[in-house]
Chain A
Amino acid sequence: MRLLTRLAGYVPTVVLARRNVSRATARSALAVVAVVIGVVAVGGVGLGGEAFTQNQLEAYDGFGGVATVSQLDYPDDGAAEPDGELSEQEISRLRQTAGSAAVIPVVRPANDTVRTPDGEALFTVRVVSMSDPSRFYELRSGSFPASSARAVVVGSRVAENNDLAVGDRVTVSTDSFTRSFRVAGVLKGQGFSDPLSADRSVFVPVGQFDDPTYDEALVQVDAQEGSLDETVERVETEFNSRDRSVFVDRVSDQRDQREETFEQINLFLLGLGAVSLLVAAVTITNTMLMSIAEREGELGVLRAVGYGKWAVLRLVVVEATLIGVVGVAIGVPLTLGVGAVVNYALLGDPLAFTQTGLRYVALGAALGLGIAVFGGVYPAWRAATREPVEALE
């Protein structure tokens, strides 16, 4: 006797089940297809969502060791809102407190409007001004203008949606000026999670503002020279000991919140994808019901020759499980393929699988197997409790 056959002898139920499953090829194949679709739906949604999350969170890459500081405003008895302006004195106090860390004040002028050369006003575009945006952003084309230059850098969406390129002119109005600027550079796309919404912004050099009012300030700590936590601590002590006057927010915290939001959205989508697995369970139940109806006599014989209820139950459940196993075995590589395509499209690297993403694939596989077993239970129970005398009539 060959080794394989001998080994197979120790898992007789599986051997019997495999033969039975392959008996009705079309039927079993369709049930497998149902499982495959379900597994790919769950795994694919998980991997795709994960790739999207990574893609969006890349926007935070340039913001390591950064916290935002904004003035707290107390509108009439209400709760404090991070609103209002930081004065020059507060900025210099912030610089002293922050020590070696860089403090970059950000100007967001009120009543800002950006218009294209045709005079079209771009409602969704915001004007931002900060020294040295190259600290956080890279350019797709052009260069960063000097701080005194009459030139701006525009975000990727601003450029794409309005056909703006380096050399074009835009008109920027704020409450302190209306001036025409040359587009000096276009930023790389950052995604909508970017802390400064750079994609939808026009960066005006700080030199354009005679008397800037600072909306917020970014504090950047070089990891080799100090720790962001300590700096944040010092700022909190300096500004918020008596009254809370500023709001300090680590960009990494914002990132974590974003990530959590994305995870929740992903879970919702997964739930929706999992509905297809539920349908696959129904399909497996149906397939197994047909199968046991067809083999009523055979199953009766098994009971007659001494197979207990459990043995018959196990046999049918194992058959359903086999369908699940095959479905998962096909579905998982397919899911990984889909994931690789999405990774390539969003992240540029087909193999950029994350642990979380792979966990979703595993979840899809586990669910696929689980529903196969689950879908087999009722038909198995029916087959097992059928009286052999009746089955053999």
Chain B
Amino acid sequence: MSLRHRLGGSVPVLVAALRNVSRAKLRSTLAAAAILIGVVSIAVVGAGGEAFKSGQLQRVESQGATNVYVFPGPDREREYFTREDLVEIQETVGTTGVVATTTRDGQWHRRSDRSEQVSLNYVESAAALRAITPVERGELPSTWRRQAVVSNRFASDHGLAPGDRLRISTGDESAQTYRVVAVLSEPTGGVGSAEVYLPARALDDRQYDRARVLTGSADEAELTAALLREEFNERRDRLLVFELTSLLRLFTQVVNGINSFLVGIGAISLVVAGVAIANTMLMAVIRRREEIGVLRAVGYSRGAVVRILLAEAGLIGAAGATAGVALALPAVMVANAAFLGDPLAFTPGAVGYLAAAFAFGVGISLLAGVYPAWRAANERPVDALRG
């Protein structure tokens, strides 16, 4: 006995179903095509939406979702942090880094007769700056005194490069000259970003108006924020603590809602496809009435007949769903490339949608096969064979 024969013998229902399905090729193909269309629409919409969501989340995270932003609270006497305050915060959050910064508006004296406003961010050390934003060009100094680091947008807007000089003044002070040593690579727009970054020692008072706690993930940021609130704001609001996680959650919720709605509309087509399968199977059992009667007469149980017919419906569904997922994959890869920059960056959510589309396609087919199978199995063999 050939291997194929022996293998087939172990799944007789499947073999019988396969033979029957391929008997009415056109009909089965059309029913599978209906499933295919439904599966493609669900998979593409669902997985594409997931890619969109992940892309957006990555963008938000890169703009500081892993950070917790801490500001002096309304119940503090002083509206700024001193070094002692920062030590206290550092002790509360433990090992994670704390970067204190001060933002100011400054004047950039481009020429003796012309100046314009720039946003300044004073950072404790080069290491601290490196911790909050990566560098595109140039080197950060080890001892940071009279050097400036600029954002890449500021650099490109004004044609600045490492080596250029900036004359900057704040308030009533006289202008100081800084040498541009590095350009940051992050696009500006994230929380706490500025155009020009200067060393904190350039501040005469060493007062910080905000601190940033750096954590490893959005979840950790949320925990850290809770910890800080608990420690500092028990009775009075000594700190204002912000983290983007709650916003992220809101965004995720909204996108998930929209995505499920779209997938729901796409799923209508799968319901119609189920109707097509029911039709095909109904036709098949009517055509094979006598044949099924013979099976019953030679000792097949009703359960066996139902199983064979359900296996047929399932096979059609599986064929359509497999082809559908195969067709959807390139479309999802295009979405991955567009939103995540990598065609193969399938998110767990996207894989979930692909799997759900497949399962839904097969499930609907099985469901659609139930009535025809039940009808065929419940006919008395005598009646089936007589007419």
Touch between chains A and B, by CB atoms below 8 Å: yes
Task: Judge whether B27 and A290 touch: CB under 8 Å.
Answer: yes
Rounded to whole angstroms, the CA-CA distance of A276 and B42 in the bound complex is 11
Task: Judge whether A279 and B273 touch: CB under 8 Å.
Answer: yes
B337 proximity list for chain A (CB < 8 A):
none
B147 proximity list for chain A (CB < 8 A):
none
Task: Judge whether B45 and A285 touch: CB under 8 Å.
Answer: no
Most buried by A among B41, B157, B158, B237: B41
B37 proximity list for chain A (CB < 8 A):
275, 278-279, 282
Task: Judge whether A31 and B279 touch: CB under 8 Å.
Answer: yes
Determine how close the nearest CB of chain A comes to the CB of B151; give it in whole angstroms.
14
Give chain A interface residues in 255-269, CB to chain B under 8 Å. 269
A10 proximity list for chain B (CB < 8 A):
none
Determine how close the nearest CB of chain B comes to the CB of A276; give it in whole angstroms.
4
Determine how close the nearest CB of chain A comes to the CB of B34; give it in whole angstroms.
5
Kindly supply a per-residue 1/0 record for chain A positions 272-307, scoring 1 wherever the CB is within 8 Å of any chain B CB and 0 otherwise.
Answer: 110110111011011101100000000000000000
Rounded to whole angstroms, the CA-CA distance of A237 and B247 in the bound complex is 43
Determine how close the nearest CB of chain A comes to the CB of B317; give it in whole angstroms.
13
CB within 8 Å for A279 and B272 given contacts A27-B279, A269-B262? yes
Rounded to whole angstroms, the CA-CA distance of A195 and B336 in the bound complex is 35
Stretch at the interface among A14-22, A33-41, A79-87: A33-41
Kindly state whether residue A329 has any CB partner on chain B within 8 Å.
no
Chain B interface SS verdict (over half): helix
CB within 8 Å for A121 and B275 given contacts A27-B283, A278-B269, A279-B38? no
In chain B, what residue has the closest Cβ to A26?
A: B282
Kindly supply a per-residue 1/0 record for chain B positions 266-278, scoring 1 wherever the CB is within 8 Å of any chain A CB and 0 otherwise.
Answer: 1011111101101
B157 proximity list for chain A (CB < 8 A):
76-78
Kindly state whether residue A197 has any CB partner on chain B within 8 Å.
no
Rounded to whole angstroms, the CA-CA distance of A285 and B262 in the bound complex is 27
A76 proximity list for chain B (CB < 8 A):
116, 157-158
Most buried by A among B262, B270, B276: B276
B213 proximity list for chain A (CB < 8 A):
none
Q: Which of B27, B271, B283 contacts A37 (CB 8 A)?
A: B271
Task: Judge whether B242 and A123 touch: CB under 8 Å.
Answer: yes
Q: Which of B158, B240, B276 contacts A283 (CB 8 A)?
A: B276
B34 proximity list for chain A (CB < 8 A):
279, 282-283, 286
Task: Judge whether B280 and A38 touch: CB under 8 Å.
Answer: no
CB within 8 Å for A119 and B237 given contacts A269-B265, A279-B269, A289-B26? yes
Task: Judge whether A276 and B268 touch: CB under 8 Å.
Answer: yes
Task: Judge whether B275 and A30 touch: CB under 8 Å.
Answer: yes
Task: Judge whether B237 and A30 touch: CB under 8 Å.
Answer: no
Give chain A interface residues in 1-52, CB to chain B under 8 Å. 26-27, 30-31, 33-34, 37-38, 41, 45
Kindly state whether residue B257 has any CB partner on chain A within 8 Å.
no
Task: Judge whether A289 and B27 touch: CB under 8 Å.
Answer: yes
Give chain A interface residues in 153-205, CB to chain B under 8 Å. 173, 178
In chain A, what residue has the closest Cβ to B278?
A: A30
Q: Which of B233, B247, B270, B279 contacts A286 (CB 8 A)?
A: B279
A123 proximity list for chain B (CB < 8 A):
242, 246-247
Q: Which of B30, B270, B271, B282 contacts A282 (CB 8 A)?
A: B30
A37 proximity list for chain B (CB < 8 A):
268, 271-272, 275
Task: Judge whether B279 and A280 touch: CB under 8 Å.
Answer: no
Kindly state whether residue B31 has any CB partner on chain A within 8 Å.
yes
A280 proximity list for chain B (CB < 8 A):
272
Determine how close the nearest CB of chain A comes to the CB of B191; give it in whole angstroms.
12
B280 proximity list for chain A (CB < 8 A):
286
Task: Judge whether A272 and B45 touch: CB under 8 Å.
Answer: yes
B265 proximity list for chain A (CB < 8 A):
41, 45, 269, 272-273
Q: A272-B262, A273-B268 are in contact. List 10 more A-B contacts (CB 8 A).
A: A27-B282, A30-B276, A38-B272, A77-B157, A119-B237, A121-B240, A275-B37, A279-B34, A279-B37, A282-B30
Please give me the 9 A-B residue pairs with the lowest Cβ-Cβ distance, nearest first.
A276-B269, A283-B276, A279-B272, A286-B30, A275-B269, A276-B268, A30-B279, A282-B34, A34-B275
Please report B residues at the A interface, Cβ cutoff 8 Å.
26-27, 30-31, 33-34, 37-38, 41, 45, 74, 116, 157-158, 233, 237, 240, 242, 246-247, 250, 262, 265-266, 268-273, 275-276, 278-280, 282-283
- List, sorted by A's number, 24 A–B pairs whose CB atoms are closer than 8 Å: A27-B282, A30-B275, A30-B282, A31-B275, A31-B279, A38-B272, A41-B265, A45-B265, A78-B157, A119-B233, A123-B247, A272-B262, A273-B265, A275-B266, A275-B268, A276-B271, A282-B37, A282-B276, A283-B273, A283-B276, A286-B34, A286-B279, A286-B280, A289-B27
Please report A residues at the B interface, Cβ cutoff 8 Å.
26-27, 30-31, 33-34, 37-38, 41, 45, 76-78, 113, 119, 121, 123-124, 173, 178, 269, 272-273, 275-276, 278-280, 282-283, 285-287, 289-290
